[in-house]
Structure 1
Amino acid sequence: MKKYLLIFLSLGVFLNACKKSDDDLTPDKGLTPDSEEVMVQDFMWKAMNFWYYWQADVPNLSDTKFPDTVEGVEAYTAFLASESDPGVFFDDQLLFSEDRFSFYSDDYKELTQAFAGISKSNGLEYGLVKFSDSDDVFGYVRYIIPNSDASTKDIARGELFTGVDGQTLNVSNYIDLLFGDNDTYTLNMADIADNQVTPNDKEVTLTKMEGLVENPVFLSETFEIGGEKIGYLVYNGFTNEFDEELNNVFGDFKSSGVTNLILDLRYNPGGSVNSARLLASMIYGTHTDELFLRQRWNSKIQSELSDSQLTDYFADKTNDGSDINTLNLSKVYIIATNASASASELVLNGLAPYVDVVHIGETTRGKNEFSLTMVDDFEGSYVYNPERENQINPDNQWAIQPLVGRNENADGFSDYTTGLVPDIMLEEDLENLGSWGDLNEPLLARAIQEITGVTGKRGFEVKMPLLEMTNSKMFTILKDNMVLDKKLDINIQ
């Protein structure tokens, strides 16, 4: 019978459909440790040994490290028990030295909810900057999620804070104060002028809400400037639950006669690979015969997958069957910064062989690998499948999100671990972040100048460059993850 399945389901089904043989691609149950105390570590090792992109480069994941003997079982059990904390075991024993992005969760349900844009949050998205002359830290507001607690408070983009609950933020305490167990905290606000950040008397109390949903389609505007019809879209995450809304925005652009697009990904850490493919199609066209990306897996998996499974072409329909609203552009202006990662970079790289991509901002994060969610379900090849919830080991709620492959564009390029370099370098200015959609906001204004060719009266001098050390997105469960959620058409015998 033929089924249409998401990749986190389809790969497991496809692989398990193979008859058991010496060359079978399904994970081997392998050695069974002689202690239940290492159940989580056992799951982690077996999933990583099979799926991990760098499996061949990690000695602890070698297929020959633990022979199938009594001595081998003892050595394997001792190895798993060498670290009682599964999280530390995952980080210290199983990861390749160059892997910056694989991670774990002790609650797979929380992780899978996060992929749908659902989280516990007060709705304030911000960056954190270290003072140059001390270990103190201050935060700046990037944006506020609509319908959140923060959206009801007196706080806006560009404002700064230097303390929480009366304690000055520094490199030692900011994690506990901002990302600890306290659902409610009070920010101590600050002013900025002439490169100086000065605390003021303003306080803002915020409370985290359960189940807050962030719509990544944050802002869309159409401008007519100098005879040019310009569409502007601020898109803050590749969340496939909002693909239809994204497509509707492009429908509005199309009906308005937009001929130039400014896509603002400055704070977009990534997400769904398929949403990236759809967005690229909305920009370039519904060319279903032209390659958007090709996957590269580890040697165990790469040779076993067909060309149709390894490749993705531009789309003409959304997953819900709606016709893609495309602008058919030959040139696009994309605002991207060091906070732009994974699926954001995938859009820039995937479009590059076909479209003149004018990248305005900073060098991007450099995350060119995709991941899959792994849970303790051997029969499902460890790949999370919502239809197999009752098959997940009820005694093990841990999940891992390892990098399992890389995406290359139609030119075969995927080597951007140091980031994608902008065509027009322009950092954000802490003294002049500007308002969303305001024609004087520096990065938007620079993109408009590039489109119209008209030099405005204002300059683009950056008085206080935004040298961010981290941001609130990096403390969510998803961080800057790129998730493979491709649909495959597979014959299951």
Structure 2
Amino acid sequence: MKKYFNFPLFLLVTAFVFVWSCNNNDDENLPRFPEGSTESVNLWVQDSMRRYYYWADQMPAKPDYRLPVKDFFKSLLSSQDRFSFAVNTQDPSSYPRSVRNMYGFDYAVMQLANGNVVTAIKLVLKNSPAFNSGLERGMMITKINGKTITAANAEELTSSIKDQTVIELTVGNWKNGAVTDEKNIQVYYGYSLEQPVESKIFKKNGKKTGYLYIYDFPDGITPVLSQKFAAFKAAGVQELILDLRYNYGGSVSSAAALCALIPAGISASSSFITYKGNKNGGEVKRTFAQQITYDPNALDFNTLRANALGLNKVYILTSNSTASASEIVINNLKPYMQVIQIGDVTLGKDMAGFIVEDKRKPKKISWQLHPVIYKVFNANGEGEYSNGIMPQIAAGEYASLPLLPLGDPDETLVSSALGSIYSKSAGKDALDKSIKILFQSDTPSAAIGK
């Protein structure tokens, strides 16, 4: 088994990249400490946060500079903040840890109507340690390192996965209400490669529907998105399903590029987003064209629009793992078209940030800050969805086991969207309330150590 040794990082939505060389002594009211001391690093952290942090006015006036840096950073955070974090670039152990970014898969532990507890693998990243070990979406985990998963130990046992570098899973297939064909699989901690954008076209009653699964929004994705939409347009696609159920976010510029490819009636000067920061950051408004250009590798707005579908309606599949830039897609398309959201309420990350780090040469501070800096709003000034964005059609992907491959027309969320498009089931919930979710591995706020 090939082992991977890399340290993936769960990033905040990136409004744009910013780096800063800070002078600790530019505020006469701040104390002074010997360079290189923990106190001096904490002073840099405090000064950085005072300048950029969205809730800077809530920071304590007299923090304890003697605390370890990570603890000091947390002591500055607002009780409303689930997402800001700090890492020491010279210490891999300081980076966020989650099952997804360590092994490349996610799972859900649930209690069925008959009381049985089952653990379903719901996501396996392509070219990840989990994928290379043979894990597949739809498999059921019965044991972790030889211990059977129960309602009593589900959270503790499954959470322990991220504290190890190799795990043994007993997995099987779900058939006729039971797990069969069990086998043991070892998965090593490692690195997952960039995920492909997956697409397909459904056709029924002469109408073609495009389906697009987007795992995240890295910079540089716009050429791929443009190609996918060019193929949809050439095929005569009339409806669109965006699958963002596992999309934590990424670059706002990439999200803006996706949005530019969908609705009718927008131009380069159409308003896309408003960022609202603290008293130092103020308010920043950007059009579609402006936001897209913050990705240096992006196609320009007019090039993208040549492949746009020009729709008046879009269907977006969501879960509580839909966060940040993917929530911006949902909220910021609403001023320009009808958005029909299907699935579960989103995470509620109505904010954006950029990296703050020491760029002096030579660098004197190895810590890197990822604070919340802005709240985000759409062209109509609508935002404030920290409790998540509610779907118009509630649907749970666990309503039918085993979980089918993403993009399968019979998979629960896809089926619900297709039902809304092609049949009289439009607008009907598809949620099995008898299934109780005990624990899920992929909560983004947990992934960043908050």
Task: Tell me which interval the TM-score lies in, with the shorter structure as reference length.
Answer: 0.7 to 0.9
Question: Is residue 139–residue 173 contact of structure 2 (8 Å, CA) maintained in 1?
Answer: yes
Q: Are residues 1:329 and 2:329 paired?
A: no
| 1:190–1:298 CA distance, 2 compared to 1 (3 A) | same
Q: Which amino acid aligns with 1:149?
A: P
Alignment match, 1:163: 143
Paired with 1:238 and 1:452, the residues of 2 have a C-alpha distance of 29
- Higher helix fraction: Structure 1 or Structure 2? 1
Q: Is it true that 1:310 corresponds to 2:285 in the alignment?
A: yes
Cα shift at 1:404: 0.4
Whether 2:335 is the aligned partner of 1:349: answer no
Looking at structure 2, the residues matched to 454 and 131 of structure 1 have their Cα atoms a distance apart, in angstroms, of 31
SS of the counterpart of 2:328? helix
Compared CA separation, residues 231 and 130, structure 1 to 2 (3 A)? closer
Q: 1:19-54, CA deviations, whole angstroms, 9 ceiling, x for partnerless residues? A: xxxxxxx97486243342323322221111111001
1:229 aligns with 208
CA distance in 2, matches of 1:397, 1:391: 11
CA pair 110-213 structure 1, distance change in 2 beyond 3 A: farther
d(CA) in 2 for partners of 1:401, 1:334: 28
> Residue 143 of structure 1 aligns with which residue?
123
CA deviation after TM superposition for structure 1 residue 472, in Å: 4.1
User: How big is the shift at 1:437?
Assistant: 1.9
SS of residue paired to 2:202: strand
Alpha-carbon separation, structure 2, partners of 1:290 and 1:27: 40
Matched, 1:424 2:424: no
**Residues 269 and 186 of structure 1: CA distance in aligned 2, closer, same or farther (over 3 Å):** same
Find the aligned partners of 1:466 and 1:434 in 2 and give their Cα distance: 19
| Cα distance change of structure 1 residues 443 and 29 upon mapping to structure 2, 3 Å threshold | farther
RMSD between aligned residues: 3.6
- Secondary structure in 1 matching 2:261: helix
Partner deviation per Cα, 1:194-249 (whole Å, 9 max, x = no partner)? 8x776974211122334x322251x2001111111110001111111322212211
429 and 242 in structure 1: CA distance in 2 versus 1, 3 angstrom threshold: same
Q: Deviations over 1:111-164 (max 9, x none)?
A: 9x99xxxx97443x213336599xx98642223222333333433212121432
Give 2:350's match in structure 1, choosing from 352, 368, 373: 368
Q: Secondary structure of the residue that 1:367 maps to in structure 2?
A: coil
Asked if 1 retains the 8 angstrom alpha-carbon contact of 2:54 and 2:277, the reply is yes
Query: Are 1:203 and 2:184 an aligned pair?
Result: yes
Amino acid at match of 2:219: N
Structure 2 segments unaligned to the other structure (5+ residues)? 1-14
TM-score normalized with structure 1 length: 0.74
Deviation per residue, 1:4-33 (Å, 9 max, x gap): xx9424x859xx9xxxxxxxxx97486243
Q: Is 1:80–2:65 an aligned residue pair?
A: yes
Amino acid in structure 1 at the alignment position of 2:52:
W
- Between the aligned partners of 2:435 and 2:256, the Cα distance in structure 1 is 32
User: For residue 452 of structure 1, what is the amino acid of its counterpart?
Assistant: Y
Q: Which amino acid aligns with 1:451?
A: I
- The aligned residue for residue 338 of structure 1 is 320
- Do 2:112 and 2:436's aligned partners in 1 also have CA atoms closer than 8 Å? no
Amino acid aligned to 2:17 = F
Q: Secondary structure at the match of 1:293?
A: strand
**Percent of paired sites with the same residue:** 27
SS in structure 1 opposite 2:280? helix
Query: What letter matches 1:363 in structure 2?
Result: V
What is the match of residue 77 of structure 2?
95
Superposed, 1:16-27 pairs within 5 Å as none
User: For residues 216 and 478 of structure 1, what CA distance do their matches in structure 2 show?
Assistant: 24
Structure 1: which 5+ runs fail to align? 1-5, 17-25, 67-75, 378-387, 481-493
Report the secondary structure of 2:47's partner residue. helix
Q: Tell me how far apart the structure 2 counterparts of residues 100 and 200 of structure 1 sit (CA, whole Å).
A: 41
> Measured at CA, do residues 409 and 284 of structure 1 come closer, stay the same or move farther in structure 2, by a change above 3 Å?
same
Trace 1:167-206 onto structure 2 (pairs within 5 A). Answer: 167-168=147-148, 170=153, 171-176=155-160, 178-182=161-165, 184-189=166-171, 201-206=182-187
Structure 1 position 311, deviation (Å): 2.2
Q: Distance in 2 between matches of 1:236 and 1:443?
A: 16
Instruction: Tell me, in whole angstroms, the C-alpha distance in 2 between the residues paired with 1:151 and 1:462.
Output: 29
**Equivalent residue, structure 2, for 1:37:** 38
CA distance in 1, matches of 2:298, 2:324: 24
Q: Which amino acid aligns with 1:80?
A: Y
Change (3 A) 1:129 1:449: same
> Which letter does structure 2 place at the counterpart of 1:321?
L
1:261–1:372: structure 2 CA closer, same or farther, 3 Å change rule? Answer: same
Residue pair 1:161, 1:199 contacting (<8 A) in 2 also:
no
1:240 counterpart = 2:211: no
Q: Distance in 2 between matches of 1:106 and 1:335?
A: 36
> Would you say the 8 A contact 1:428–1:462 is kept in 2?
no
Q: What corresponds to 1:8 in structure 2?
A: 17
* CA contact 1:265–1:336 (8 Å) conserved in 2: yes
Does the 8 Å CA contact 1:138/1:163 hold for their aligned counterparts? no
1: distance between equivalents of 2:205 and 2:26?
A: 60
Go from structure 1 to structure 2 and tell me whether the alpha carbon gap of 1:139 and 1:479 turns closer, same or farther (over 3 Å shift): farther
Q: Kindly provide the CA deviation profile for residues 377-399 of structure 1, in whole angstroms up to 9, marking residues without a partner as x.
A: 4xxxxxxxxxx6x4532xx3221
CA distance in 2, matches of 1:421, 1:472: 19
